[in-house]
Structure 1
Amino acid sequence: MKSFLITGVALLAVSGAARAQGPVSGSVSSFLPLNAEATSLPGATVYLDGVAIGQTDDFGQFTVPALSVGDHQLRITSIGHKPLKAKITGQATPQTVHFVLEGETVLTGEALVTASRANERTATAYTNLSKEDLEKRNFGQDIPYLLDQTPSVVVNSDAGNGVGYTGIRVRGTGIEGINVTVNGVPLNDAESHGAFFVNLPDLASSTSSLQVQRGVGTSQNGSAAFGASLNLSTLESRQQAYAESQNTYGSFNTWKNNVQFGTGLLNGRFTVDGRLSRISSDGYMVRGASDLKSYYLAAGYQQKNTLLKFITFSGREKTYQAWNGVPEPALTRNAAGLQQYVDNYELSPEDAARALREGRRYAYYTYDNQTDNYQQNHYQLHLTQGLGTDWNVAAAAHLTRGFGYYESLRLDRKLADYNLPDVVLGTAPNTTTIKRTDLVDRKWLDNYFFGGIFALNYQPAESRVQATLGGGWNRFLNDHYGEVIWARYASTGNIRHRSYFNDATKTDYNAYARAIWQALEKLSVYADVQVRRIDYRLAGIEDKQVPVSAKAEYTFFNPKAGLTWQLPLGQTLYASYAVAHREPVRSDFTDRPLNDAGPKAEQLHDVEGGYRLNRTVNSQVLRAEVNGFYMRYRNQLVNTGQLNDVGTPLRTNAPRSYRAGVELTGAYQPLTWLSLSSTLTLSRNRILDYRAVTYDKDYNPLTAAEGRTTTISYSPSVVSAHTVEVMPVKGLRAALLYKTVSRQYLDNTESASKAIAAYQVLDLRLRYTVQPSFMRELELGLLVNNLLNREYVANGYTYGYPDAAGQPLTFNYYYPQATRNFLASVGVKF
């Protein structure tokens, strides 16, 4: 593999060298209406032909090395300024250019988003992705797959091809520990803490910027960040009218079609933007299909000091249930191994025979409507108001309406488990009592999430201090209930017989204060304090007529602090310390073993420190970062490796655990047509004094092993991502993307027999862009996933219990990812 990559880069270097011309040296200044003259603008992002080539240094300077022959487009962006586009032409001699970015005459709406985002002075680890970065990655796969090349990220897909239900882990922490916001509004489900991007298909096409924070990061609205934060913004206002469409077709009958439009700025005051999308796929797994639809609509009004914007977006998904995974013997077509599953009633003989035929693409369910059906509607009203020259306030009211069900065929189920009496056939004394039946049920969720958030920002043009006071109040109402829509023996039940019902209420409010103080010319001090209060109530009857009840109240105090030291030549040192707390999720209360004391809230102390380099040396752009982290947990809720009946991982408190490691990130652009980037995470993820518990088939605890130090489940010690991108001819960008993930354990016993094997995946991405006379842009794209056709799995689960002789039995299930497959796209912009 290494020789293949090196050879490819060498050949491209030779072919492009003859076209190289002189470099371009540039500087960027900022002109704000309140200032008498322009000042240098550090940190502005510079794009060449749509590709980010770096940022301006402390003096607002940048270099474009070795421009190729012909005209090129330069684009420069910076928050609070109007984007600038300019044409430059490759010449044989060096050039010097200067640009001035004008400050926005109206507020941009980013005040609420930037209030929770990290920057160069918050002493945290983060990655920014611009709209251009997202566009070149977006072929219709879910948002986690667009983040696959960012540090410490591991992704997976139930259906195997990145469409439908997908998962993401950052530093080994799953989505329930990742805080996700859209325009500052919490997206995580208040009960499960999950963020289900399948409910919002193609949201990436409406996202103008995205930031991934690793570790605790800055204070956020919503659930706590225990591994990372994902902050999406859709608030960008485009000044010119536009119409666009992206269309993709690929393997497994995968389709993506969308239409986007915008009016631009009307009468200097109004904007309207919209999108309609459809994504469908049969999936790599047999019966792993998805049918996803969504819309996005935003209407804005703005004047010099005021911005009012209403945003609504919605998604509706129908996915065939692929969350059961594939039994391990089916991956290798091991008939003897599958027989063990049959002997212990984990599979029927018919299912085992089908698993042998379908192999790694096997899907457990065969009922034609074994589907998950859910719709989620979001409504946001944003107001940003300038308060003089130094202050602004941003606030948002929001409502999320979610409803849907998953339908299942259940065989030989007890009538009593569905709140139905036994059926008596015949007349006395010749009667037959029927206690079990085949049936079709639906498990429903019906919820509302609403509230408000705000941020008051002090951002003077000339001051050593910048500060934010923010917070929010959010309330979640959720009904859980089941319906029987068909039964072979219905007893006294009617159609849509309600078999169980319980409701949940959660109130979450928080307040935070944050400040950055420029203590010295090169030293800045960051401080952030958050208080969060949660009230959670759950009551009613759960599936199988089990009473459920929970009443939990938490008050969390989360301080954070950091130092940043600016060194010469684009170098920065930083260090931070942060505390975070997180409440248990619903399944931690409802899926506990009998006689369990109940879940405890988690606590995290996060120490981070690192070095950043962002500079241009001899016309070559170089960026690098080394970030070290030590995350010490109390009562961390770690996955046991098991799932409940709707695919949610079961968890248990580990009294003491930690994650420690280093993240290495580098990007090097020696020529305008060649860029290299790599990220490598080396980590140690341990539970101290872990006592593995043995369970029976009903998940009742039997015995606990002696305590020992062990590896946390689903936490690889090595994760890397590498990209080589070239532009051999104008408009054509070709990239090789290489991903490696080391072994992961399915539970916390550190057993090699219950693990996900290490894997390496190579993808190829091509995009060719032209500007014909009859449209603004035409782009053709091709993404070949898993170019080397590897057979690998990226997720799984395990459980076990003693057999009749007391010997342990283990049952592993995996989620295979697709072998070589492609997605081809056509995009048009007017």
Structure 2
Amino acid sequence: MKNLFLFLTLFVLSVSVCAQQNQVKQDSTNTEKLDEVLVKAVRVDADSPITHSNVKKEELAKRNLGQDLPVLLNYLPSVVTTSDAGAGIGYTGIRVRGTDATRVNVTINGIPYNDPESQGTFWVNLGDFASSTESLQLQRGVGTSTNGSGAFGASLNVLTDAFAKEAYAEISNSFGSYNTRKHTVKLSTGLIDDYFEISGRFSKIDSDGYVDRAFTDLKSYFLQGIYKDGNTLIKALTFGNKEYTYQSWYGLDAAQLKEDRRQNPYTYENETDNYWQDHYQLHWNERFDNNWSTNIGLNYTKGKGYFEQYKLEESAEDFANLIEDDSDVIVRRWLDNNFYVANANVTYKDQSIELITGLSYSVYTGDHFGEVIWGSALAPNTDIRDQYYDGDATKNDFSVFSKATFKLSDDVTGFVDLQGRFVSYKTNGLNSDRAPFVTDANFSFFNPKLGLTYRANINNSLYVSFARANREPNRDDFENGVTENETLNDIELGWRHNTDKLAISSNIYYMFYQNQLVLTGGLDDVGSPIRATSGKSYRLGLEIDANIQFCKSFSTSTNIALSSNKNRDFSASIDGALVNLGNTNISFSPDLVVGNAFNFYPAKNLQLSFLSKYVGEQYMGNVDSEFSKLDSYFVNDFNINFEIKPNKLFKSIILSGLVNNIFNKKYVSNGYYYTYDDDWSDPIAITTIEGTGYYPQATTNFLVGATLKF
């Protein structure tokens, strides 16, 4: 109640301050930059019948003090974020409309970023990437056709830094709780002779983490060279990251959480993850005239790394007889992968139609192997680093699409988007359990999308859309015996209202699935969520996103998402019997998610923001067990930004501060839930035993920083 009272008090006081001030008119432009052609094929515009949110570089910069990109997007509609280490740095995750990260399609300059095998997005390999992001667009639901694995809850496309006309240099440093530090240097030559620019960024992020010893050590870079001549833009860029993190994916059980919520059950000093990833992209944008433009994009990604793990009293058979039975061992489990992508798009545009046709082809090769680096009782004739399993995988992904936006009348615009996607996935060798893992699967998908936008007047428009998406199982699904694809049908109905002082985007969605792979709540032996097919299921929701400019000195951004997320006729094994539970809640899908920001501008170049996030209770499993329930939480942050413009030496000095969780809320944003059958306590009965784990998030903590621009 205290938090709610403060929330309402700030609202009333801020409105009062605004009473005698003039309104601020929004600035608009119809200019399309050549840089934006990079993401033209996977983005939509403001009038499209696709539900979406846009975020610009300036908005990201205000809280860019070291935390990962998902955490910076925490206040978007229907978004829930979490952090293994508790402080928003390292292994962080994002869910949209209750769907997990493996189902959020991510592209960078139109190039797929999701790992092709696991389909996950590992933000730990994109340290300080917000510092090299020009803009991003989050499309909720199926969205428009994109490249890579299909979007089953959202798609997030990122556009990296645009070219700079003038030379600049920036030095950014931030410090904060848990020994967190971020150091960033950015440079640009500006356009040389109006044709060439070279720019770059180097960053170092360190944090001890809120959880004991859950440290993060990230070293990242971004380098870019561009050639610009009239209607031609060629960009060659490379970016990469080296991460070194201590494991904290095991979480805490209820007793440990109550005893000491910052403890880490791992005791081995080098229980760490070590991974290197480098990306190389080449983009050629060409505008031939006012009607025709093209884009060609090429990508190569190299990733390699391992996590080190201490294992007690292992069986010799599980390690290819490299050890004696009941030996303690230390292993390294390696990934070594290559990812090649080629995209090509052509756009035709006139006053009545915009037509974009494109294709994308990618090849992924990955090796999975493990080695023993220590054993308390090695077998005779055994050498350190002998491999105990080895397997490889190849995935080919080809998609072709054509999308058109066209006028049906002065007030009605149509949208048609047709995509064909063709996937092959092959594996061979042994998995980490030393079991043969041989897969040869092929999928052919047709993904149509249709929509209409009706502009009632200059301030109001309505839209309706239907979209279908299909997804193939990921590597873990195949290992668990899942071979069928998932299908999602998404119906969206929305209303947009825009005036100088008020912008509202609201929509109702109904997403119904066949063979949806829902999270069971359990984890595998490397901390990845386990999924299972739920048969028929649906997500029904209402989303409202409102931005109000009360006056020059005060604005608010508020969003609310109400939803019902259900498995239909869900069956589960309970006490040794298969039980039909009827309709149950889909795991990790809260019914209510609210975000809010009060923005106050008391003086020129000074902004104060009070940020709030409420996430309703959610189940960590699909059986509606009270034991699996994750409590709701309401967390508030405070952000301050002040820009100084000296007359000499510096173009500007930006001072930033962020206090997270200002009311010191002890909350948990994520966890896991598992069951097993006890058939030994009572010889004539089977009892289902439930267990849970929790990821505690940081209590009150802060970050402060300064950026010097030359």
Q: Which residue of 1 aligns with 2:550?
A: 670
**Structure 1 stretch 472-481 or stretch 794-803: which is displaced more?**
794-803
Within the candidate set 272, 289, 294, 1:393 is matched to 294
**For residues 344-743 of structure 1, what are the structure 2 equivalents within 5 Å?**
359-420=260-321, 434-460=324-350, 463-491=351-379, 492-590=381-479, 592=480, 596=481, 598-616=482-500, 621-694=501-574, 703-743=577-617
Q: What residue number does 1:198 align with?
A: 124
**Larger displacement relative to structure 2 (176-185 or 229-238):** 229-238
Report the counterpart of residue 32 of structure 2 in structure 1: 80
SS of the residue corresponding to residue 300 of structure 1 reads: strand
How many Å separate the matches in 2 of 1:562 and 1:673? 38
Q: 2:246 aligned with 1:323, yes or no?
A: no
Q: Is the 1:241–1:265 Cα contact (8 Å) retained in structure 2? A: yes
Helix, strand or coil: the match of 1:589? helix
Amino acid at match of 2:226: G
Taking the TM superposition and a 5 Å limit, the aligned residue runs for 1:291-310 are 291-310=217-236
Asked whether the 8 Å contact 1:112–1:454 carries over to 2, the reply is no
After superposition, the C-alpha distances for 1:427-485 in whole angstroms (9 at most, x for unaligned) are: xxxxxxx422111100000000002001101123xx20110001110000000000111
Please report the TM-score for the alignment, with normalisation by the length of structure 1. Answer: 0.83
Residues 96-117 of structure 1: per-residue CA shift (max 9 Å, x gap): xxxxxxxxxxxx2321302210
Distance 2:424 2:216 in 1: 36
**1:154 is aligned with what amino acid?**
V
Distance 2:24 2:314 in 1: 73
Alpha-carbon distance in structure 2 between the residues aligned to 1:615 and 1:658: 35
Q: CA deviation at 1:12?
A: 4.3
| Matched residue count | 701
The CA distance in 1 between the partners of 2:499 and 2:551, in whole Å, is 14
Write the distance in 1 (CA, Å) between the matches of 2:305 and 2:313. Answer: 25
How has the CA–CA distance of structure 1 residues 439 and 119 changed in structure 2, closer, same or farther, with 3 Å as cutoff?
same
Query: What is the CA–CA distance in structure 1 between the aligned matches of 2:433 and 2:152, rounded to whole Å?
Result: 33
1:405 Cα offset (Å): 0.1
Report deviation, 1:5.
Answer: 2.0
1:287·1:363 contact (CA, 8 Å) conserved in 2? yes
- Cα pair 2:18 2:550 within 8 Å, conserved: no
> Is the contact between residue 765 and residue 781 of structure 1 (CA under 8 Å) also seen in structure 2?
yes
State the identity as a percent: 41
Deviation per CA, 1:524-544, whole angstroms, max 9, x where unpaired? Answer: 000000000000001111123
The structural deviation recorded for 1:55 is 5.0
For residue 6 of structure 2, what is the aligned residue in structure 1? 4
Q: Distance in 1 between matches of 2:640 and 2:213?
A: 30
1:235 to partner: Cα distance: 4.7
- Write the distance in 2 (CA, Å) between the matches of 1:421 and 1:296: 42
**Structure-2 change in CA distance of 1:482 and 1:703 (3 Å):** farther
**How big is the shift at 1:78?**
5.1
Q: CA deviation at 1:802?
A: 2.9
Pair 1:240–1:376, CA change in 2 (3 A): same
The answer for the alignment partner of 1:278 in structure 2 is 204
5+ residue gaps, structure 1, are 26-53, 57-76, 82-107, 334-358, 423-433, 696-701
Equivalent-residue separation in structure 1 for 2:303 and 2:239 (angstroms): 12
Match of 1:522, as an amino acid? D
The amino acid of 1:278's aligned partner reads: K
Shift of 1:23: 5.3
Q: Please state how far the C-alpha of 1:246 moved relative to its aligned partner.
A: 1.6
Can you give the 5+ residue segments of structure 2 that lack an aligned partner in the other structure?
none
Q: Which amino acid aligns with 1:80?
A: E
Equivalent pair of 1:277/1:295 in contact (CA under 8 Å): yes
CA distance in 2, matches of 1:574, 1:509: 31
Alpha-carbon distance change, 631 to 15 in structure 1, aligned in 2, over 3 angstroms? closer
Q: Distance in 2 between matches of 1:808 and 1:519?
A: 59
Q: Distance in 1 between matches of 2:546 and 2:287?
A: 38
Structure 1 residue 808: deviation in Å?
Answer: 2.6
Deviations 1:476-516 (A, max 9, x none): 00000001111111113212110100000000000000001
The change in CA–CA distance for 1:612 and 1:448 in structure 2 (over 3 A counts) is same
Whether the 8 Å CA contact 1:116–1:219 is kept in 2: the answer is yes
Describe the superposition over 1:669-722 as per-residue Cα deviations: whole angstroms up to 9, x where unpaired: 111110011100000000001111359xxxxxx542224110000000000001
Q: Distance in 2 between matches of 1:770 and 1:109?
A: 29
SS at 1:329's partner residue?
helix
- Aligned-pair RMSD on alpha carbons? 1.5
Pairs within 5 Å for 1:63-74: none
**Structure 2 residue matching 1:689: 3-state secondary structure:** coil
Q: CA deviation at 1:332?
A: 2.1
- How many angstroms does 1:137 deviate by? 2.6
**Contact 1:459/1:466 (<8 A) preserved:** yes
Which SS does the other structure have where 1:284 is aligned?
Answer: coil
Which residue pairs with 1:265 in the alignment?
Answer: 191
Q: Whose Rg is larger?
A: 1
Q: 1:772 to 1:600 in 2, by over 3 A?
A: same
User: In the alignment, does 2:673 pair up with 1:785?
Assistant: no
CA contact 2:18–2:551 (8 Å) conserved in 1: no
- State the Cα distance separating 1:263 from its structure 2 match: 1.0
Who is 2:672 aligned against?
A: 797
CA contact (8 A) 1:778 1:828 kept: yes
Residue 129 of structure 1 is aligned with which of 19, 42, 55?
A: 55
The TM-score, its normalising length taken from structure 2, stands at: 0.97
Aligned counterparts of 1:644 and 1:471: Cα–Cα separation in 2: 35
Change (3 A) 1:24 1:638: closer
Structure 1 residues 112 and 587, CA gap change in structure 2 (3 angstroms): same
The C-alpha deviation readout for 1:111-156, integer Å capped at 9, x for no partner, is: 1302210113320110000111111131110111111110000000
